Amino acid sequence: MEMTSDLRTLEDILAVSRKFGVTALTFGLPDDRIELRFAEAACPTAETLPAEIPAEAAVFVTADTPGLFQPQITELPLTVSKGDILAFLNAGPVRNTLTAPCDGTVTEQLAETDSLLGWGSPAFKITTGA
Amino acid sequence: MIRILNPGLGAAVQDLGRRGLANIGVGRSGAMDRRALRVANAMLGNAEEAAGLEITLGGFSFETLEPVAIALAGADTEATLDGRPLPRWWARTLLPGQVLRMGHSRTGMRGYIAVSGGLDVPEVLGSRATDAKGGFGGHDGRLLKAGDTLTTAAESSGTRALDYGLSPRAWPDLWADGSGETEVRFVPAMEWADYDEKARALFCATGWTIEPASNRIGYRLYGPEMVPTIRRELLSHGILPGTIQLPPSGRPVVQMLDANTVGGYPKLGVVIDADLPLLAQATLGSTLRFREFCAAEARAARREEDDLVSAIRRATSHQRKG
């Protein structure tokens, strides 16, 4: 497998694991096993936020798959819950969702509607806490 | 495995139906919007003949008892998963205990849910489709009730977690609105010649209203009375889904998938196979128009549906590769 393909596979595994709350994966034969343990996300999610939440913190929602950015929220600021659909990312024949990683208030849209986002491109800013 | 919480106004197990048995009085049955069920199965990588759920007018809900991948297709039913919106034409892996609910559709008649591997109900006469009139096929030969449990035919452990949808930019035809005016094409039938030029023109120019007394058996249409030049008394003969009959009332009836296999009313034409899915989604009270078509073009139109389903199957295959 090519390196880019490997990285994409890992990105896929990571995204799906986060979505379903998986923290570790072990696969392969007993003598030849691979174990993946997922570190805390660079962009904190609700589960990875420290116990002591600052009075107000900014969370940047980034694209976890490439695609044309199609926001589904119109008026800002907007209070959202973890898992709410914030945007679609259209990639040719298919589309994926960009969801809120935590409860909070979407205060900024950081990408132009219909612009092409890549992995990790910032799309929204969510303010959490007071 | 899933458990039905609320069957809504009518939910049943359907596949592509039974063909080749009309000679012994067995109707076709199967998904009214065949294209939607085929697309849903393609999104999951299922076999063409996999059985799924047909939900008429929404109001349906189920909970999952085991992990299962589903694809949501057909009318916009404003579906939610655990209270959060689940977009149209969407494939998603559900975890045990999750609840999928459908609202009431306003722009289409029928929503579809395919499950990975298809629903595991017994095959009767070559199909898993429910023939509610005959009381066989599907789940115990009937519409679903609250508390029914349905199992899937595939091992769910091998399924990759899915969460993707079809882009409306790539497949705009799938987002058609069935609540306004729907045009369907028809091939003239034997008694079409019994109507003069003026009557035929009237048939094609009229915006026929789909009456509330329309269902999987047939669609009753309201409009001007059609008067034939020649009145015939016909012996009952074989008819197919899509046949446009003209009863003595002078107002057409379009026979659908649960129709009888024989009828004796004069036939104006037959709605082409490719347009039956459009008819399936045309809402009660909406307007229907007919356009005359030829048999060769009708066959080509049917191939377009095959091409669409194949293209979606190909275009989404990378989403399913684990």
What is the reported pLDDT for A9? 64
Q: pLDDT above 90 covers what percent of chain B?
A: 89
The confidence band for B319, taking pLDDT boundaries of 50, 70 and 90, is confident
Could you tell me which chain A residue has the CA closest to the CA of B170?
A93
The confidence band for A27, taking pLDDT boundaries of 50, 70 and 90, is low
What is the reported pLDDT for B155? 56
- Mean pLDDT for B274-302 is 95
What is the reported pLDDT for B24? 94
DSSP state of B130: -
- Provide the domain limits for residue A12: 1-39
SS3 content of chain A, % helix, strand, coil (to 5): 15, 45, 45
Mark whether A52 and A87 lie in a shared domain.
yes
A24-28, B144-148, B233-237, B284-288 — which is least confidently predicted? A24-28
- Mean pLDDT for B18-32 is 95
Helix orientation angle between B295-315 and B34-44, rounded to the nearest 10 degrees = 30
DSSP state of B123: -
Q: pLDDT above 70 covers what percent of chain B?
A: 98
pLDDT at A24 over 80: no
Domains of chain B: 2-172 (no CATH), 181-305 (2.40.100.10)
Residue from the list A19, A84, A90 with its beta carbon closest to the beta carbon of B167 = A90
What is the reported pLDDT for B195? 92
Mark whether A29 and A47 lie in a shared domain.
no
* CA distance to partner chain A, nearest, from residue B169 (Å): 8
Mark whether A47 and A12 lie in a shared domain.
no
State the CB neighbour count (10 A cutoff) for residue B184. 21
Mark whether A55 and A35 lie in a shared domain.
no
B153-157, B272-276, B288-292 — which is least confidently predicted? B153-157
Sheet with B99-101, strands from edge to edge, namely B84-85, B80-81, B99-101, B61-64, B2-6, B149-150
The Cβ-side half-sphere exposure at B173, using a 13 Å CA radius, reads 12
- Mean pLDDT for A35-53 is 54
Element at B56 (helix H, strand E): strand B52-56
**With an 8 Å Cβ cutoff, are A83 and B311 in contact?**
no
Q: What is the pLDDT of residues B187-201, one digit of tens each?
A: 999 999 999 999 999
The confidence band for A56, taking pLDDT boundaries of 50, 70 and 90, is confident
Mark whether A65 and A20 lie in a shared domain.
no
Alpha carbons A109 and A76: distance in angstroms, whole number: 8
Q: Check: CB of residue B279 under 8 Å from CB of residue B249.
A: no
pLDDT at A3 over 70: no
Q: Check: CB of residue A38 under 8 Å from CB of residue A18.
A: yes
Mark whether A34 and A54 lie in a shared domain.
no
CATH of the domain at A71: 2.40.50.100
* CA distance to partner chain A, nearest, from residue B167 (Å): 5
DSSP state of A75: S
pLDDT at A55 over 80: no
What is the reported pLDDT for B231? 82
What is the reported pLDDT for A17? 64
Tell me what the pLDDT averaged over chain A comes to.
79
Q: Is B111 on the interface with A (CB under 8 A)?
A: no
A19-23, B151-155, B288-292 — which is least confidently predicted? A19-23
Q: What is the pLDDT of residues B40-54, one digit of tens each?
A: 999 999 999 999 999
Element at A6 (helix H, strand E): helix A3-19
Complex ipTM:
0.80
Mark whether A75 and A53 lie in a shared domain.
yes
Residue found by looking up tokens 């990285």 in the block? A7
Q: Is B178 exposed, middle or buried (0-12, 13-18, 19+ CB in 10 A)?
A: buried
Q: What is the DSSP string of B258-293?
A: TS-SEE-S-EEEEE-GGGHHHHHHPPTT-EEEEEE-
What is the reported pLDDT for B106? 83
Mark whether A63 and A22 lie in a shared domain.
no
Residue found by looking up tokens 């990408």 in the block? A111
| Chain A residues touching B169 at Cβ < 8 A | 90
The confidence band for B318, taking pLDDT boundaries of 50, 70 and 90, is confident
Mark whether A53 and A87 lie in a shared domain.
yes
Cα angle B12-B17-B19, degrees, rounded to a multiple of 5 = 160
DSSP state of A63: -
Mark whether A71 and A48 lie in a shared domain.
yes
Mark whether A9 and A47 lie in a shared domain.
no
| Chain A residues touching B167 at Cβ < 8 A | 88, 90-95
* CA distance to partner chain B, nearest, from residue A93 (Å): 5
Q: What is the pLDDT of residues B61-73, one digit of tens each?
A: 999 999 999 999 9
**With an 8 Å Cβ cutoff, are A95 and B161 in contact?**
no
Q: What is the pLDDT of residues B121-175, one digit of tens each?
A: 999 999 999 999 999 999 999 999 999 999 988 755 455 789 999 999 999 999 8
Could you tell me which chain A residue has the CA closest to the CA of B161?
A16
Q: Is A92 on the interface with B (CB under 8 A)?
A: yes
Could you tell me which chain B residue has the CA closest to the CA of A114?
B169
Q: B270: which strand partners?
A: B187, B243
Please tell me which residue, A12 or A66, carries the higher pLDDT value. A66
What is the reported pLDDT for A2? 45
Mark whether A46 and A76 lie in a shared domain.
yes
pLDDT at A129 over 90: no
Report the domain count for chain A.
Answer: 2
Tell me what the pLDDT averaged over chain B comes to.
94
Closest CA to B52 of B29, B31, B35: B31
**With an 8 Å Cβ cutoff, are B165 and A95 in contact?**
yes
